[in-house]
Amino acid sequence: MKTSQSGMFSRPQLGFSLIELMIAMVIGLAIGAALIQLFIASRVTYNVSDGLARAQESARYALEIMNRDIRMADSEAICGNRSVDIRNWVDDPALAELMNQNPVMGWEYDGTGVEEELALPATGGTDPSDWSNGTDGLPAALASSTFQALAGSDVFAMYTLSPNRSGCSGCDQGKSGEVFPNIPTCPIGQKTGSCAAGIPQGAAFLAVNCDLGLGDVCINVPTGTASVLVCKGTEPAGHPGNWPPYNTETEFYQPSVIHYAVAESSASTAQRPRQALWRLINCGDGSGSPDLSCIREELVDGVESLQIFYRVRNEPGLWTAANIPGNRWDLVEAVHLNLIMASPEDADNRALAQTLLIEGDLEVTANDRRVRQVYSNVVAVRNRITVR
C-alpha cells in the first residue's frame, strides 16, 4: 500500500501579521524620532557653544584694544613734568574739541541709560540728535553717508599721544644724555632733513620744545617740498609756522583722536545683517582742510551694542555720557565698558527669549535665534588719577 509523503514534511509559510508590522513601524518611528531629537539637541548645543566661544574671543580682543587706548587717553608730551604751552591749530571742530578741551568724551544713545530698557536687535533713528554728550549730538564723522553709527549703542572718543617713532630723516634720533632716546628730535637749525616719511602730508602732528615750554598741534600742509613741515593756521608770536619751529631741539609726537562705535559690518548683507565694533582715527566732520587721513578700522564683528558708564571724581555712582555732573568731562576717571556680543549664526531653530541685566540696571532683552553674552571691563584713565 502506498502512502503520500507530501504532507509529512510540508509546513505552512509564516510571516508578520498586520498588527506585528504596525508595532514594528511604531517602534522604528519612535527610535528614529529620538535619534533626530538627539541630533538636533547636539547641533543646538554645538551652535551655542561655538557661538559663545567666538563671541568670547572677539570680546577679549576688542576689550584689549580699547583698554590700551583708554589708559593712554589725555596723555601729554614727556617733558619731565614741566608745564608746556600746547596750542591747537587743527580747524576741524570734531577733532579740535578732543585735542584741546575734553580729551575724554562719550555720547549716550537715547533710552539706554541707567535703569532703562534696550531691545535687541536695536531699531530706531540714526540722527545725530539721537545721541547726547550733555550738550551736543553725535559728530558728523559718525553719522554720514560714509559711516553711520547704529541705533542702540553708545559712542566713546579720546585723545591720545604717542612718540612718532618712525622718525624724520635728517634728524637725530635722540640727543646725548636724553632720558627718552626713542623720541625723534631735530637739532638746532635743522633745515635740510625731511619728515615726509614719519609725518605724512595732511596728517596731524605735535611738535614740542620742552626747554622753551612750547608746543603746537598742527596739520602738515603740503608745501611742494619735503625739507620742512608747515603748520596750518596763523600762529601768534612765539609759535612760528615753519618747522622745525624753534631755535633749539624739537620733539615730534603723533596725536590721535580715536572714536569707538558700533556700525554695520563690511560682511553684512540684507539677508544676513551683522554688526561690528569700529575704531576711527582722526576722522573729523569734513570741515577741516587738508584731508586728515581718516582711518576706519573694523575690529571685530558680532558686537551688537556698546554700553558705557562713567566714574566721575568725587561723584558716587555710575553716570552716562548724557548726564555727567556739570558736564565736567575733565573729572572722568574711569570708563565702564559693556560689550553685548551676539553669535554670528542662529544658535537654535526657534526664537530664544533672553534678558540680560548689565551695569546701571540697564535691562537688555532679545527674542530671536541668536545667543548673546555681555562682557564687561572697567578701565581707569590713568592720566586722570589723583595721587593723594
Q: In angstroms, rounded to a whole number, what is the distance separating the alpha carbons of residues 109 and 102?
A: 19
Please report which helix (H) or strand (E) contains residue 380, including its range. strand 372-380
The pLDDT value recorded for residue 170 is 39
Q: β-strand 214-219 against 85-88: which pairing, if any? A: parallel
Do residues 94 and 141 make contact, with C-beta atoms less than 8 angstroms apart?
A: yes
CB atoms within 10 A of CB 379: 17
Nearest to 348 by CA among 366, 372, 370: 370
Do residues 90 and 219 make contact, with C-beta atoms less than 8 angstroms apart?
A: yes
Q: In angstroms, rounded to a whole number, what is the distance separating the alpha carbons of residues 324 and 309?
A: 10
Cell numbers linked to 142: 559718525
Q: In angstroms, rounded to a whole number, what is the distance separating the alpha carbons of residues 237 and 100?
A: 19
Please report which helix (H) or strand (E) contains residue 215, including its range. strand 214-219
Do residues 64 and 152 make contact, with C-beta atoms less than 8 angstroms apart?
A: no
Residues 6+ apart with CB under 8 A from 372: 55, 120, 304, 340, 341, 342, 343, 354, 356, 364, 366
Q: In angstroms, rounded to a whole number, what is the distance separating the alpha carbons of residues 345 and 49?
A: 12
Q: In angstroms, rounded to a whole number, what is the distance separating the alpha carbons of residues 302 and 298?
A: 11
The pLDDT value recorded for residue 180 is 38
Residues 6+ apart with CB under 8 A from 167: 173, 184, 197, 198
pTM for this prediction: 0.79
Work out the burial of residue 243: count CB atoms within 10 Å of its CB; fewer than 13 is exposed, 13-18 middle, 19 or more buried.
Answer: buried
Tell me the pLDDT of the chain (388 aa) as tens digits.
Answer: 555 555 555 566 666 677 878 888 888 888 888 888 777 767 667 666 777 777 888 889 999 999 999 988 888 877 766 777 887 877 777 788 888 778 899 999 999 998 999 999 888 778 899 999 988 889 888 888 888 999 999 999 999 888 765 555 434 444 433 333 344 444 444 433 445 455 666 777 787 777 777 777 877 665 544 445 666 655 544 444 444 444 445 677 888 899 999 999 988 887 788 899 999 998 877 665 545 568 899 999 889 999 999 999 999 999 999 999 999 998 999 999 999 998 877 767 677 788 989 988 999 999 888 888 899 999 998 776 654 4
Cell numbers linked to 251: 620733539
Q: In angstroms, rounded to a whole number, what is the distance separating the alpha carbons of residues 37 and 44?
A: 10
Work out the burial of residue 240: count CB atoms within 10 Å of its CB; fewer than 13 is exposed, 13-18 middle, 19 or more buried.
Answer: middle
The pLDDT value recorded for residue 388 is 44
* SS3 state of residue 67: helix
